[in-house]
Structure 1
Amino acid sequence: MSTSSLTSSLPQTPSSGIKALARFGFAAKGVVYIVVGTLAVMAATGTQGGKTADKEQALQTIQDLPFGRFLLGLVAFGLLGYVIWRLVQAFRDTEDKGSDAKGLARRLGYAGSGLLYTGLAYAAGRAAFSGGNADQGRGSTQQSLIAKLLDQSWGQWVLGAIALGIIGAGLYQIYRAYSGKFSKHVNSSGLPAEQQKIVYRTGQVGYTARGIVMAIIGYFFLQAAMQSNSKAAQGTEGAFDLLASMGPVVLAIVALGLMAYGVYMLVQAKYPVLRGV
């Protein structure tokens, strides 16, 4: 038996398995953002009765496609892979952030980013295997959790801190877009110079749009904290509705930006830079 045959017959190492999960995760995340952006573009243009949607409704759209449950199962698996990769980044410190206060904060951010997708992965998996609606109960669950938080004497302060954190994260996405920091996670060196430029610009547009939507969501949460009103806290769909009130062109531009972010995630899935694994 040749050396190459022997190597190919050996089981994957844990690190190669984690890399595969991460790449699958980026792809699944990209698909979700492309669907969300597409639905928002349809809303802006009035095409086929399009309406703004959040990530859970994007899952429902995937579920309604031919072989939708199978596709949704793949998305669920991919999102789970993304969660695992983010936790690996946090606990194994793959980005070499260190254990000082700043480093721990960044690593906690990686964990938080991953955990935010656990609910989405669960919703996709539940719908794929049980056949239920992927977007069932999405709004009421969020509203209920926020209402319970606001019932506490310290609830407004905690929700306000969460809101400021979301706004800060949104602004940081925009900073990453124009500082170019986002590009270090994609290895596009093997692409022709013109394609590298296109990939870079796509990432800039995508991260900017994502930052805008996140900042608006943070603003809604801040209003909910200040008013002690859980109904004021809105998600992606609410952010789109606010943008639509500024005009269909504004909504379409941001929606196309989110589609660009989804495309960039697909590029990252193909050409990832995965450190420490």
Structure 2
Amino acid sequence: MRSIEDRSSGTSGDDGSSGDSIADAAKTVEEQPAFQAVARGGFLMGGLVHVLIGWMAVRLALGDSGGSADQNGAMAMIAQAPGGRLLLWVGGLVMAILALWFLLRTWFAARRGHEVKAAVVDALRWSGPAAVYAGLSGMVLRFAAGGGSSSSAQTQSATAGLMGSGPGRALVLLAGAVVIGIGIGFVVVGVTRRFLRQLERSGALSVGAALRITGIVGYIAKGLALAAVGALLGWAAISADPDRASGLDGALTTMAGLPAGVAMLLVIGVGLILFGIHSGLRSRYQEM
């Protein structure tokens, strides 16, 4: 199978020169220390959001129903703190830069001179985080500007119009299956420690252990939380009831009412906190 580089060499000289110039300019931007430093701040903001979601999940498990255990609940908690609105604006912007960094990595992976299949796999590996941080950035900036609602309300609003038809319900069911699949992917990454491949090797054993432990538990916990969201979406599609469609907040609230649900919610809450800590550590050790 011909590599992407081999296939692109057959284009005209002008097209190749133009593409190389764009690639060189993008590489120059991506390698700027200031750009990389700001991008690392995106990991910190993402970590803070997960720590707050985990903390609210733990409070929910202990019987405190105040606040939404989701991204918007975390945004509300930040906004209420002194200087919180400014932090949201800064956090949203640095996560946008981090999304751009992942997007550049996606493009570079697609242009590498190895086999097409390997290039596609690499591009997909980088494009996923790009989409995640772009979505988080948009949510944070929207909340900083005064918008935002709970994930449950957003999910119910998005699915309500689809429940009136068979194709619409099939689409919601497919969305639920996709979310469950993503959740399973997070669990697999945690169990196999695949996340360590994207991190620089650290000479400090204590830091290495912290990266491993927080990553393993954090990825598994986030995967379970996402799987719960996907299961509720699927349940809503099968029952044709949009009220059963729920975001992360609704999924965790539903979990709390199940047998042994409180214990599961505590584990997930602590796991999300550890995932947030892992993101903070990643801001230092991620290979840029």
TM-score, reference length from structure 1? 0.80
Deviations 1:49-88 (A, max 9, x none): 6455110111111000011111111221122123223322
Of the structure 1 ranges 80-89 and 196-205, higher mean CA displacement relative to structure 2 is found in: 80-89
2:99 aligned counterpart, secondary structure: helix
Q: Is the 8 A contact 2:30 2:101 kept in 1?
A: no
- Which segment drifts farther, 244-253 or 22-31? 244-253
**Aligned equivalent of 1:20, options 30, 33, 37:** 37
Check whether the contact 1:90–1:111 (CA below 8 A) recurs between aligned residues.
Answer: yes
Find out whether 1:32 has 2:49 as its counterpart.
Answer: yes
How many Å separate the matches in 1 of 2:255 and 2:167? 32
Aligned to 1:161: 174
Tell me the equivalent position of 2:102.
86
- Whole-Å separation in 1 of the counterparts to 2:226 and 2:215: 16
- Aligned residues: CA RMSD: 2.8
Relative to 1, partners in 2 of residues 1:91 and 1:230: Cα closer, same or farther, differing over 3 Å?
Answer: farther
Question: CA, structure 1 residues 120+152, in 2 after alignment: closer, same or farther (shift >3 Å)?
Answer: farther
Q: Aligned in 2, Cα 1:151/1:108: closer, same or farther, shift over 3 Å? A: farther
* Percent pairwise identity: 26
Aligned to 1:195: 207
Shift of 1:157: 2.5
Alignment length (residue pairs)? 257
Residue type at the aligned position of 2:30: S
Unaligned runs of 5+ in 2: 1-26
**How many angstroms apart in 1 are the aligned matches of 2:239 and 2:180?**
18
Deviates more, 1:149-158 or 1:166-175: 149-158
Which structure's CA Rg is the greater one?
2
Alignment of 1:1-277 (within 5 A): 13-17=28-32, 18-46=35-63, 50-93=66-109, 99-100=116-117, 104=120, 107-108=123-124, 110-128=126-144, 130=145, 132=146, 134-136=147-149, 139-151=152-164, 153-191=166-204, 193-245=205-257, 246-274=260-288
> In 2, distance between residues paired with 1:230 and 1:184?
40
Give how far 1:211 is off: 0.7
Quick one: structure 1 residues 227 and 108, their matched pair in 2 at CA, closer, same or farther if it must change by over 3 Å? Answer: farther
Task: Determine if contact 1:43/1:52 at 8 Å carries over to the other structure.
Answer: no
For 2:245, give the aligned amino acid.
A
In 2, Cα distance between equivalents of 1:31 and 1:95: 34
Contact 1:87–1:111 (CA under 8 A) maintained in structure 2: yes
TM-score scaled by structure 2? 0.78
Unaligned stretches of 5+ in structure 1?
1-11
> Quick check: 86-95 or 232-241, which moved more?
86-95
CA distance in 2: counterparts of 1:240 and 1:137, whole angstroms: 13
1:266 CA drift (Å) = 0.6
Which residue identity is paired with 1:185?
Answer: Q
Residue 202 of structure 1 and its aligned partner are, at CA, apart by: 1.2
**Deviation sequence 1:73-120 (CA, Å, 0-9, x none):** 1221122123223322333327979643x8646634643543344444
Task: Provide closer, same or farther for how the CA distance between residues 182 and 42 of structure 1 changes in structure 2, counting only shifts above 3 A.
Answer: same
Is the Cα contact below 8 Å between 1:21 and 1:85 reproduced in 2?
no
Is the CA contact 2:156–2:245 (under 8 Å) kept in the aligned structure 1?
A: yes
